[in-house]
Copies of this chain bind each other. A is one copy, B any other.
Amino acid sequence: MTKQRLKIIPLGGLSEIGKNMMVMEYEDDIIVIDVGLMFPEEDMLGIDLVIPDISYLLERREKIRGIVITHGHEDHIGALPYLLPQLNVPVYSTKLTQGLISVKLKERRALAGAELKVIPPGGEFTLGKFKIEFFPVCHSIPDAVGLIIHTPVGIVVHSGDFKLDYTPASGNPTDLSRLAQLGAEGVLLLLSDSTYAELPGYTPSERLVGESLARIMAEAPGRVIIATFSSLISRVQQIIDAAAKYQRRVFIAGRSMNDTVRMALELGYLETPDDILGRLDEMRGMPSNKVVLITTGSQGEPTSALVRIANRDHRQVHIQHGDTVIISATPIPGNESVVNRTVDSLFKQGAQVLYSKVAQVHVHGHGSQEELKLLLNLIKPKFFVPIHGEYRHLSLHAKLAQSVGIPAENIFVLEDSDVLELNPQAGKITGKVSAGNVYVDGLSVGDIGPVVLRNRRMLSRDGIVVAIVAVNRQTGKLVGRPDIVSRGFVDTREANDMIEESRDLVAKVLDHSGDRPAEWSFVSTKLRDTLNRFYYERTKRRPMVLPVIVKV
């Protein structure tokens, strides 16, 4: 057995492991799989985005041979505008994925100098000692691929995000025969999508959604308004096909939906009968049962077309009697309540609303338990690493792998920044690289740390009280009466007496502190403690207390 080992390191990921970025390393060669972003968790107040900490990669920049992207969703490409300029290596992806990456990079002015290489599904390329082959998989975006990576230690299969749909709405089904062939040759390691490892059975086919949409368009008495993810181009195709069947014209509302449809038409990922697409201002004149409107807003995004419509805030579209609204998506965790509020508003305005809980208007893009087992069975890997899921999903996927015969000691449930080392005989988690998450807030990347976040949490709960005292620089004596300003703590009109009382309290603390101007920090601490105690006793709240001593 040689000393050379293959290293696998998931980087980034708030709770989902290996989804946003995976590092694969062998001797002097590193490849990076996916460079995605994360959406902030609920206690990360004010944070816009979270991206992986790549200090491990920056220390080994000369070893990095390239970035390989499995598909064009935000959580797999969204950190490229921030990180590609730092890494400055070629990016390999399929054509549609490249189109989406270009849009992202352009938005953040990071396109210049980016080396974007298009590889077709089924195509191969070599990065250092890694020979990589794209295999087509079905997912909720076209042109998604998994990876077959030939390494000096053995073959590694990375599933990407996938499901097995034998009748997908567009594109090819997952290439099972290629995978079966690999399984027969012998695969060292499978890394496989765990997102839906909790779900028994099979994920239903996109075809069911197509049939539902067609039935709804046939029966709806008026307009059909459908919100979906703009990247779910196959769903847009299904909507257009159903509209064509029932002689409805199709209109688009929402910037990102417009942009993506245009791009998909140009690149040939969307096919439309002549003249079916209309300009939004032409919609008014149409008989309502001849109209289909595709919009953004399936996640309740506050500025999206659907939410504006629901809030009677859209310039061109207003809900009218007989409208049928379809939310062709499920809420991403965290978005449930805004989506629910949108649905409620649409109902209140008299629309008929169909959403995934009450009608078959969406199927998700990940394999359920039987599909996961099928993949494990076909590939028969020696080692298995569940990826793309929170810890419980990975644990359940690990159990599925055991149930189809992979020994427990060959299964590795990794956490963020764990280093798994493999040789053909054995694998071991040998340590952790330094890693974490980098917060993006406004223009800044990485300057928000735990102190700022802790302060925001504290401010959000009980507000702030600023106590301002002017003191004579020489004598240390109070000048004038202390002032108290509060925000987010109490209704200042109603709590006026308490605030006045606390001003007196501040004056008293100053009086008793003697005149030793050298120890202002001591006075400041005493002020803070006194006010903290006073306000807590009176209100059972703990505002942030900020003493300001002005020396004059």
Contacts and interface: CB of A to CB of B under 8 A. Distances in A.
B485 A337 contact: no
A162 to B, nearest CB: 21
Contact of A347 (B42, B358, B392): B392
Give how many copies assemble into the complex. Answer: 2
A344 B345 CA distance: 35
Interface in A454-477: 455-464, 466, 468, 470
A440 to B, nearest CB: 10
A391 B348 contact: yes
Contacts of A462: 46, 441-442, 456
B463 A550 contact: no
A123 B551 CA distance: 74
A388 to B, nearest CB: 15
Contacts of A1: none
Contact of A334 (B15, B337, B415, B461): B337
A418 to B, nearest CB: 12
Contacts of A15: 340-341, 344
Given A442-B540, A540-B443, A548 B466 contact: yes
A489 interface: yes
A442 to B, nearest CB: 3
Nearest to A338: B42
Interface in A384-440: 390-392, 395-396, 415
A552 interface: yes
A480 B347 contact: no
Interface in A194-232: 198-199
A311 to B, nearest CB: 14
Interface size class of A (residues with CB under 8 A): 35 or more
Dominant SS among interface residues on chain A: mixed
A538 interface: yes
Nearest to A45: B460
Nearest to A495: B447
Contacts of A541: 46, 441-442
Interface in A306-355: 333-334, 336-337, 340-341, 343-345, 347-348, 353
A35 interface: no
B461 A552 contact: no
Contacts of A488: 45-46, 452-453, 455-456, 458-459
18 contacts: A46-B460, A198-B358, A333-B337, A343-B392, A347-B392, A441-B539, A443-B538, A447-B494, A457-B460, A460-B460, A466-B466, A468-B550, A470-B552, A480-B550, A480-B551, A483-B550, A485-B546, A487-B546
Interface of A: 15, 41-42, 45-46, 198-199, 333-334, 336-337, 340-341, 343-345, 347-348, 353, 357-358, 390-392, 395-396, 415, 441-444, 447-449, 451-453, 455-464, 466, 468, 470, 479-480, 483, 485, 487-491, 494-495, 538-541, 544, 546, 548, 550-552
